[in-house]
Structure 1
């Protein structure tokens, strides 16, 4: 990978964040986290490869933090697997509703368990945004 491309990959999240004039607090928090994560992936001139899913593996000892979310994660995955539709559009909406419900459930765990004001703020923003989007998706009707 060239230095030029490495710089571009590192700077892109910062440039995108600078172009945004505000907006959804969840998107802002995600942009900030993306910027931090992108900077962390650039180590000794290398960038982690997208096909490397090692970060998604459960740790050998999940710890109290991960155990707090185990039930909500399992329920989200169960609901997403059960969600279906006759068309791609219908299946997408059904699965995304389940996915967003999982996000709300995890945010509720964070509100119940976290004492960090920033985490609590982000959890409240997730609940508001995802609840609004669930209502929007439930109101969606196929055009044909």
Structure 2
């Protein structure tokens, strides 16, 4: 029993170290997300995704404000999208999600001066537009006899 008590924390540490493949960027993103969540909860300002400021609070940066409309539209579109089956709902919601990505890419393309950001936004817009077309063309498989 004593060895099991020691092995469990060691296993947890090992699993935590392996999560994300040990990628330091992924770990930094997880750490920042955890810190932000902890600060939000500590401040007592837990926000809901349907809140008008999309969780950015009163101190929204200019960058956050630039994307506020596209974020709100995407979340509203995803919430409104539905389907009779899981497959149909997935496609409908993913179309709205991808439309949000295209709208955010449009903001980046209209406001960013960074050539790398603009290149990435162009790639996102092209890929997401293609995937939207594929999803719109999707038809459920015929029911098995």
TM-score (norm: length of structure 1): 0.69
Shift of 1:67: 0.7
Counterpart of 1:58 in structure 2 is: 56
Structure 1 residue 132 and structure 2 residue 142: aligned? no
CA distance in 1, matches of 2:129, 2:69: 20
Corresponding residue to 1:37 among 23, 26, 46: 26
Query: Structure with the greater relative contact order (CA < 8 A, sep ≥ 6): 1 or 2?
Result: 1
Counterpart of 2:113 in structure 1 is: 115
What are the ranges of 5 or more consecutive residues in structure 1 without an aligned counterpart? Answer: 15-34
Shift of 1:119: 1.2
TM-score (norm: length of structure 2): 0.68
RMSD (CA atoms): 3.0
Shift of 1:116: 1.3
Counterpart of 1:103 in structure 2 is: 101
Which contiguous aligned blocks of 4+ residues in structure 1 show a shift greater than 6 angstroms? none
CA distance in 2, matches of 1:105, 1:123: 10
* Structure number with larger C-alpha Rg: 2
Corresponding residue to 1:4 among 6, 10, 14: 14
> Does the C-alpha gap of structure 1 residues 13 and 139 become closer, same or farther in structure 2, counting only changes over 3 Å?
farther
What are the ranges of 5 or more consecutive residues in structure 2 without an aligned counterpart? Answer: 1-8, 41-48, 50-54
SS of 2:102's partner is helix
CA distance in 2, matches of 1:8, 1:115: 37
